[in-house]
């Protein structure tokens, strides 16, 4: 366990050092309009925006002042939706590793941000449940997701964290982190048609699942 923690610290430190500075184009998107307002959510129906959604995201410097602005405006974007429970930076046009997730596993079900999140372990046990996406109009389908994950990430101060997440909240994390790899659920469904799964558990809170 000690060796694992040391390895995690080295990976995070290397990531922060290697994180490229935000480009002028990214800063322009982040700073457009009022800082306290929502950024527009990208849609697959727009060719340019769809390309951004399919692109791989890179790590971001958590201590960069622009990162804090991005985090704040992403939250406003999520709050502007009708029932959204998570959002990833590519969905506002920034291919960087930042997500917001509603924590149904915590009292009060708060919204929380995560910078440079990494899923380091997933359970073999999976749940089946419906998913939608804020960036894909009129699309909803059933997906299998691991019931439990181990997540590692940093906050805006660069503080490192590791935690175990399960259930519905774990599903949201997996969906949002998929966005950071350019994976959309519409494409995921096509790939899964050739994969075999064994249903192992009933899915709960299906009426809440919309990201």
Catalytic residues: 176
**Residue 15, strand partner residues:** none
End-to-end Cα, the chain, rounded Å? 34
Tokens 């046009």 belong to which residue?
Answer: 93
Residue 86 tokens read as 């998570």
Q: Beta 148-154 vs 98-102: how paired, if at all?
A: unpaired
The Cα diameter of the chain in Å comes to 48
Distance CA 136, CA 133 (A): 5
Sign of CA dihedral 67, 73, 76, 80: negative
Residue 170 tokens read as 């774990």
Distance CA 95, CA 23 (A): 11
């Amino acid at each position: 366990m000690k060796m694992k923690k040391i390895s995690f610290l080295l990976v995070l430190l290397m990531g922060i050092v290697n994180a490229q500075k935000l480009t002028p184009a990214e800063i322009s998107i982040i700073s457009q309009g009022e800082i306290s307002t929502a950024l527009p959510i990208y849609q697959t129906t727009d060719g340019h925006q769809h390309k951004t959604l399919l692109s791989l995201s890179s790590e971001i410097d958590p201590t960069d002042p622009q990162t804090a602005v991005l985090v704040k405006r992403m939250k406003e974007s999520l709050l502007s939706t009708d029932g959204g429970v998570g959002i990833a930076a590519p969905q506002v046009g920034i291919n960087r590793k930042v997500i917001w997730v509603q924590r149904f596993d915590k009292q009060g079900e708060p919204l929380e941000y995560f910078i440079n999140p990494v899923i380091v372990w997933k359970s073999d046990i999976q749940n089946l449940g419906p998913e939608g996406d804020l960036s894909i109009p009129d699309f909803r389908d059933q997906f299998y997701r691991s019931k439990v994950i181990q997540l590692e990430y940093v906050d805006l101060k660069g503080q490192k964290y590791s935690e175990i997440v399960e259930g519905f909240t774990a599903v949201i994390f997996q969906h949002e982190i998929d966005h950071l790899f350019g994976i959309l659920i519409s494409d995921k469904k096509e790939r899964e048609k050739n994969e075999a799964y064994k249903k192992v558990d009933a899915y709960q809170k299906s009426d809440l699942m919309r990201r």
